[in-house]
Every structure is written in structure tokens, then in C-alpha cells.
């Protein structure tokens, strides 16, 4: 099995203003990264062991969102180029400013997709989380809160480290409750379903002292999972049908459990309009 190392290799900034570069202006403040999406290795590229470093140029609006992204230098592999463009569209920045006023800007960004021999051991995650679940049964109320927070930290760490799409859901299935696993097991090997970690947490610990925080984590994971599913390119009719099915199932889940999230997650349209990009 290959283990993946995905990271942004470098950031190079080019600022646009009034038709000329102004990055050397004394009154200029460059954009700064506020949040970035989760980066997954494209499934087809993973299956074919593709690696490469596409370079994109992103256009950042006055409000800090990325208005568009285009390839500046191809990696030579279309799948990786497309993944880099889709990934970079979802960055959020504190916008560039001149004299304190926000301005449009642009940034060149290299995104390196490569395989690494450095293994992040998901087995440790499974063992540690399982141990924490066992500890909760014997814990005092104060200790219980601390253990629950530690479980959340471990879920976040897993999501940030686990890049192996072939085994992503398998690992999740080892730590969530059997009932929840059985609800989704038929969809298990297609695309990452990281949001189930937080749904599992909500079901296990309904008296957690900050469930709004967990729902926010769940919503962010849903956004990332949906984004990855929708941006997975395939010429296979079977794969595209599977995408429609899983998006429909996720929509039904959200409608039933968290209807207030529907619009924000882009699930308010007919599923047949959510097909492949």
C-alpha cells in the first residue's frame, strides 16, 4: 500500500491593482490565509500512482474568497491539474489591502501531489480512540468532559493526516458505533465520509456541553466530503451513478437530521443537477 503525503510546496504572491503590480507599496498589506479546504489525492490518480506539481493562479476578491482559479503551469497530468484548480477555489483569505482598504489580488500557488514512504499509522488512532471510549464508562463527570474533548482532537487529527482513500472509510468504520456503520456500509468504499465521525460523537454523547461546536465540525466535514465527491472526475457511467446515489443519500441524511444546513451545503437543488463537473 502507498501512503500519501499531500502538501502545498510554496506560495508566491503577485498583487494586481489598477493594472500594475503594487506589492512593494509601503501602504500595501498582502492577503493572508484564513482557512483552507481538505486536500485529497484524486481517486483515479491514486489508482494509477500519478504524482506531479501543478501550479495555479488564484484571483482573490475584496472579501477574501477565491473568484476563480486557473492553471499557470501544468503538471502534465490532467487529473492532478483539475484537482489543484478545484482545491484552490475553496481557500479563504484575509484580503489584501491598500491604505487599510480591501483590494482584489492574485496569488500563484504550487500544489505538490506525491507519494511518501512515511507512514502515518491509522492503527494507533483506532486503538487510542477505542481506549478513550472504554475510559468514559468509568470516568467522573469532569474527567468525562476532558476525554470527550480528547476524542474530538483525535478525530480532527485523523482527518488532517489520513490521505489513503482506499482505507479512509474502513478506519472510520472501526471507531463508530455498529448501528451507524450499518446505515452507510453499502456506500463504504466509494468516497470519504468523514462527517460520520461527528455524527457518531453526537449520538454517543448527546449531553456534551457544546453540541453546537460538534454540529459545526460535522457541517465542515460534510462540505469537504460533498466537494470531493462532486469534483471526482470519471468517464464511467457506473461511477457517475454511484455519485448520484451517495449525494442523494447525504441529502436525505441532512434533510432528516440537520435541515437548517441544506442551503449552505449546496443540497437545495435536484440531485440530477449535482452530477459530474
Number of domains in the chain: 2
Same domain as 268, residue 134: yes
Same domain as 256, residue 200: yes
Q: How many CB atoms lie within 10 A of CB 252?
A: 12
pLDDT, greater one: 233 or 100? 100
Same domain as 138, residue 63: no
Pairing of strands 105-116, 92-94: unpaired
Same domain as 126, residue 219: yes
Same domain as 99, residue 127: no
Same domain as 93, residue 217: no
Q: How many CB atoms lie within 10 A of CB 267?
A: 20
Same domain as 231, residue 127: yes
What are the tens digits of pLDDT across the range 227-274? 878 876 666 776 778 888 889 999 999 999 999 998 888 775 554 444
What are the tens digits of pLDDT across the range 167-204? 788 899 999 999 999 999 887 766 789 999 999 999 99
Same domain as 262, residue 152: yes
Q: What is the DSSP string of 32-85?
A: EEEE-------HHHHHTT--B--EEEEEE-TTSBEEEEEEEE--S-HHHHHHHH
Same domain as 254, residue 161: yes
Is-contact 242 222, C-beta < 8 A?
no
Same domain as 246, residue 229: yes
Domain final position from 116, 136, 152 = 116
Q: How confident is the model at residue 219 (pLDDT cuts 50, 70, 90)?
A: very high
Whether 1 shows a pLDDT value over 50: the answer reads: no
Is-contact 105 30, C-beta < 8 A?
yes
Whether 29 shows a pLDDT value over 90: the answer reads: no
Between 21-35, 84-98, 155-169, the lowest mean confidence (pLDDT) is in 21-35
Same domain as 257, residue 149: yes
Spatial CA neighbour of 222 closest among 263, 186, 273 = 263
* Predicted local distance difference test score (pLDDT) of residue 256: 94
d(CA 128, CA 124): 6
Domain final position from 63, 98, 116 = 116
* Predicted local distance difference test score (pLDDT) of residue 116: 53
* Predicted local distance difference test score (pLDDT) of residue 5: 41
Is-contact 161 181, C-beta < 8 A?
no
Whether 101 shows a pLDDT value over 70: the answer reads: yes
Q: What is the CATH number of the domain that holds 108?
A: 3.30.2420.10
C-alpha cell at 276: 459530474
Spatial CA neighbour of 113 closest among 254, 7, 210 = 7
Question: Which residue reads 489584501 in cell numbers?
Answer: 96
What are 111's strand-pairing partners? 8
For residue 206, how many C-alpha atoms fall within 13 Å in the half-sphere facing its CB?
A: 1
Same domain as 235, residue 140: yes
- Whether the model clears a pTM of 0.95, i.e. scores above it, the answer is no
Sign for the pseudo-dihedral over CA of 17, 20, 22, 23: positive
What are 32's strand-pairing partners? 94
Spatial CA neighbour of 128 closest among 162, 146, 155 = 155
d(CA 44, CA 234): 8
Q: Which domain holds residue 39?
A: 3-116
Domain final position from 89, 116, 143 = 116
Amino acid at each position: 500500500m502507498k501512503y500519501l503525503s499531500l502538501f502545498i510546496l510554496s506560495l508566491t504572491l503577485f498583487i494586481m491593482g489598477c493594472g500594475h503590480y503594487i506589492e512593494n507599496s509601503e501602504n500595501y498589506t498582502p492577503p493572508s490565509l484564513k482557512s483552507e479546504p481538505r486536500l485529497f489525492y484524486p481517486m483515479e490518480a491514486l489508482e494509477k500512482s500519478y504524482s506531479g506539481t501543478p501550479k495555479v493562479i488564484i484571483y482573490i476578491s475584496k472579501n477574501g474568497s477565491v473568484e476563480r482559479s486557473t492553471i499557470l503551469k501544468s503538471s502534465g497530468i490532467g487529473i492532478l491539474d483539475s484537482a489543484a484548480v478545484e482545491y484552490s477555489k475553496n481557500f479563504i483569505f484575509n484580503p489584501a489591502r491598500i491604505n487599510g482598504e480591501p483590494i482584489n489580488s492574485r496569488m500563484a500557488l504550487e500544489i505538490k501531489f506525491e507519494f511518501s514512504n512515511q507512514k502515518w499509522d491509522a492503527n494507533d488512532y483506532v486503538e487510542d480512540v477505542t481506549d478513550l471510549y472504554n475510559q468514559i464508562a468509568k470516568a467522573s463527570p469532569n474527567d468525562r468532559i476532558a476525554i470527550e474533548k480528547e476524542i474530538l482532537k483525535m478525530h480532527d487529527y485523523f482527518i488532517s493526516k489520513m490521505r489513503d482513500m482506499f482505507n479512509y472509510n474502513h478506519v472510520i468504520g472501526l471507531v463508530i458505533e455498529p448501528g451507524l456503520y450499518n446505515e452507510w456500509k453499502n456506500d463504504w468504499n466509494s468516497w470519504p465520509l468523514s462527517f460520520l465521525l461527528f455524527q457518531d460523537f453526537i449520538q454517543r454523547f448527546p449531553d456534551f456541553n457544546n453540541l453546537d461546536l460538534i454540529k459545526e465540525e460535522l457541517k465542515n466535514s460534510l462540505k469537504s466530503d460533498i466537494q470531493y465527491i462532486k469534483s471526482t472526475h470519471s468517464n464511467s457511467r457506473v461511477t457517475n451513478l454511484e455519485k448520484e446515489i451517495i449525494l442523494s443519500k447525504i441529502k436525505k441524511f441532512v434533510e432528516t437530521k440537520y435541515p437548517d444546513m441544506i442551503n449552505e451545503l449546496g443540497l437545495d437543488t435536484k440531485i440530477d443537477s449535482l452530477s459530474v463537473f
